[in-house]
Amino acid sequence: MPPRTPTPAQQSDCEYDDTGLGLALLEQVEPFLTFETIKFDAEARLAMFQFHFCGGRRFQATMSLAGPLQDLEDTPVVRNALLHIGLCILPWFWMGYNCKYIRIEAGYLNSEQVHFWEEFYQNVLSEYLYLHGLDRDRLRILVDASASDALPVLSDRKLEQQGKTKVLVPLGGGKDSLVVYQLLSSSETPCAWLHVGDRPREFERSWRFKRIMKMTQNRTGASAFRFEHNMDDKIWESEVAGTRYQPAGHPWAALVAFDSVLAAILGDFTHIAVGNERSANYGNNVVHEGRAVNHQYDKSFDFETRVHTYIRKYLVEDLHYFSALQHLWEVQIARTFASRSLGSSENFLPVFLSCNEAPDGDKWCCKCAKCAFVFILMSAWCSEAQLVEIFGENLFEKQSMFPEFLSLLDEEGVKPMECVGTACETWLSLYLALRAHGDSMFLKSHDQEIRLKGEKLKYLLDDYNSEHLLPEFLEPTLRQPVMMLGA
């Protein structure tokens, strides 16, 4: 079939340069985003991911690598990991165009891989599509690379058989990754940190990360793997300036997952233990064109199982990706975090930070739904003095936060598009908080309803999710310390 001639309107959307276009694209006169190439300088420890829209000016994201990296080389296996990292970066740029087609030139994907990524994009960008009222007839992948260029899978390294089991733990700075560390500390299995940053020198500038490293260095070593992303490209920003389609949601957890694969290759790790909890499986009470909208999709068990299988088939045969907290509710995680921090030499309460709006990444904003949810969680297990030490103030006395609290309790309405838990966990945490904070303004005004609903939800404290990918040798370590705690 000969290519169709674009209409003037279509030409204004996308000025085509036919050179090198795949046949599928020639038959589709539609705007497209191209993931063009990856440049990697092993000596400088810098990767560049280049894109363009409809053959226009190139824009790029960069990734710098630091930490205990030795003999870093530009190998096909490393290239394969970088290709997949680039596929996770792509949605940030795609949201500026929301085009129908995505063209992949940077590497080869077979039909099964294409299906994986199309499904992933549809799910992880559901929030964006829903908020902007966009249909799902987009995010179609066209591969313009030869099967002969397919990058190799790293075969079984036999590390576990040699007694070289090691666990990589992505460090986010919030309570979840710290609880993963706390639980793994009960095991003899060596572990190390990976920090993934999205601003220049984020790790080095943070007093919080410095404190965490100092507190944990006996178990994790004095140095962490540190990968830093920069997606602030001026060319791209100028191209999408003024668009009404502002970014919403992002595949950050997926980016961390594939960054972790690269670190596992470079550091000979056998396991990647992320801290994604059970409540991430529950969406935002919205269905958009047949799919649930879940701000936390790439923290869900659905994504975990898919990416676990994908990694072993297409990246590293013997690498075990799993969430060490998938079997637990947020309220159980908060209980573990508080009990293991209080009275311990590794008291993480003053140093953890989960707020995405934190000024300079330094302190809780005490304005957003995330701050509201984490405050409620910790109020069930901490005194007022401890809460003030963490957040800087008692949010139960701050009336401007009350609407945020109430939005977390709404079981029927749209849940805030944040990484927050379920309404049931929020009710239960408030119920438990009555013991220490019952005289606070917010709890007093909702005392009766909190008692009525919270009493029925105490079973969550001992509830266990059997749907998980915990390695058999780590399950007792990751399960028992939590289950043995009293309410």
In a domain, 369, yes or no: yes
Name the band, by pLDDT with cuts 50, 70 and 90, for residue 17. Answer: very low
At 230 the three-state DSSP class reads: strand
Side by side, the strands of the sheet bearing 225-230 are 140-143, 101-104, 32-41, 46-53, 59-66, 225-230, 191-197, 167-170, 271-274, 320-323
Percent of residues, the chain, with pLDDT higher than 70? 92
pLDDT tens by residue, 224-233: 999 999 998 8
Checking if the pLDDT of 24 tops 60, the result is no
The residue-averaged pLDDT of 399-424 equals 96
Least confident of 9-18, 170-179, 374-383: 9-18
The residue-averaged pLDDT of 161-187 equals 94
The residue-averaged pLDDT of 84-90 equals 99
pLDDT of res. 5: 33
Give the residue with greater pLDDT, 60 vs 19: 60
In a domain, 135, yes or no: no
Checking if the pLDDT of 458 tops 60, the result is yes
pLDDT tens by residue, 298-331: 999 999 999 999 999 999 999 999 999 999 999 9
Name the band, by pLDDT with cuts 50, 70 and 90, for residue 357. Answer: confident
The residue-averaged pLDDT of 351-371 equals 89
Strand duo 59-66 + 271-274: pairing = unpaired
pLDDT of res. 7: 34
Least confident of 59-68, 352-361, 465-474: 352-361
Written as one string, the DSSP assignment of 102-159 is EEE-SS---HHHHHHHHHHHHHHTHHHHHHTT--SS--EEEE-S-GGGPPPPBPP--T
Name the band, by pLDDT with cuts 50, 70 and 90, for residue 40. Answer: very high
Mean pLDDT for all residues in the chain: 91
Q: How many degrees, rounded to 5, is the angle at CA 77 between CA 76 and CA 83? A: 85
At 228 the three-state DSSP class reads: strand
Give the residue with greater pLDDT, 22 vs 343: 343
Number of domains in the chain: 1
Name the band, by pLDDT with cuts 50, 70 and 90, for residue 485. Answer: low
In a domain, 436, yes or no: yes
In a domain, 32, yes or no: no
Give the residue numbers spanning the domain of 385. 349-463
pLDDT tens by residue, 91-150: 999 999 999 999 999 999 999 999 999 999 999 999 999 999 999 999 999 999 999 999
Q: What pTM, to 2 d.p., does this model score? A: 0.93
- CB atoms inside a 10 Å sphere around CB 112: 10
Checking if the pLDDT of 26 tops 70, the result is no
In a domain, 430, yes or no: yes
In a domain, 415, yes or no: yes
Question: What is d(CA 35, CA 134) in angstroms, rounded to the nearest whole number?
Answer: 22
Strand partners, 102: 33, 141
Q: Report residue 98 CA to chain centroid gap.
A: 21
Question: What is d(CA 474, CA 162) in angstroms, rounded to the nearest whole number?
Answer: 18
Strands (E), 198-349: 225-230, 271-274, 287-288, 291-292, 320-323
In a domain, 263, yes or no: no
In a domain, 405, yes or no: yes
Is 74:227 a contact under the CB 8 Å cutoff? no
